[in-house]
Amino acid sequence: MKLLVLLQEATPAQGGGLSLIFMMVAVFAIMYFLMIRPQQKRQKELAQFRNHLKRGDKVITAGGIYGIVDEVAERYILLIVDKDFKIKVDKGSIVKDTTDIQQPK
Number of domains in the chain: 1
**CB neighbours of 50 closer than 8 A, spacing ≥ 6?**
91, 92, 94
pLDDT in tens, 49-71: 999 999 999 999 999 999 999 99
Residue 103 is assigned to a structural domain of this protein: no
Output the domain CATH number for residue 81.
2.30.30
- In contact, 61 and 93? CB cutoff 8 Å: yes
Instruction: List 59's β-bridge partners, or say none.
Output: 67, 97
Looking at residue 100, its amino acid is: D
Whole-number Å distance between alpha carbons of 21 and 26: 9
Residue 34 is assigned to a structural domain of this protein: no
Q: Is the pLDDT of residue 105 over 70?
A: no
Confidence grade of residue 88 (pLDDT, cut at 50, 70, 90): very high
Q: Is the pLDDT of residue 101 over 90?
A: no
Residue 104 is assigned to a structural domain of this protein: no
Whole-number Å distance between alpha carbons of 80 and 82: 6
Residue 38 is assigned to a structural domain of this protein: no
Residue 16 is assigned to a structural domain of this protein: no
Model's pTM, two decimal places? 0.64
* Stretch 79-97: mean pLDDT: 92
Residue 91 is assigned to a structural domain of this protein: yes
Residue 83 is assigned to a structural domain of this protein: yes
Owning domain of residue 60: 53-97
Q: Is the pLDDT of residue 25 over 50?
A: yes
